Amino acid sequence: MRFDFSDKVLTVFLSGEIDHHNAGNIRQRTDSEIIKCSPTLLVLDFTDVTFMDSSGVGLVIGRYKLAKEIGCNTAVTGVSARDKKILMMSGLQNKIEFR
């Protein structure tokens, strides 16, 4: 996982598996970056994610809520068709942008 902050856009490049074993660490590190950078747009890049379970859905929902609290929009990119379907079934299509 790595971060890029440019022009008030914080991009979080996720990689590997997102499951209950590592979601907490991802949440903690991402929240710290959101608070530190105070972006206007948060982009979660799933291009290099190989597996996601319900912990990934919780990760996206939680980061959306935190970002919203500081007036930041959220977008998701690079999501597989399967994971996009799961995220959309969670009602996120009305809250975040899918790129």
Q: Region 9-36: what's the mean pLDDT?
A: 96
Residue-level pLDDT at 35: 96
More confident residue, 74 or 92: 74
pLDDT bucket at 93, cuts 50 / 70 / 90: confident
Alpha helices in 1-99 (DSSP H): 23-37, 54-69, 81-89
pTM: 0.95
Q: Region 24-45: what's the mean pLDDT?
A: 97
Residue-level pLDDT at 17: 95
Residue-level pLDDT at 23: 95
More confident residue, 93 or 44: 44
Q: Region 77-98: what's the mean pLDDT?
A: 92
For each of the domains in the chain, give its residue range(s) and CATH number, in order of start: 2-98 (3.30.750.24)
Residue-level pLDDT at 98: 95
Task: Identify the H or E element spanning 4.
Answer: strand 2-6
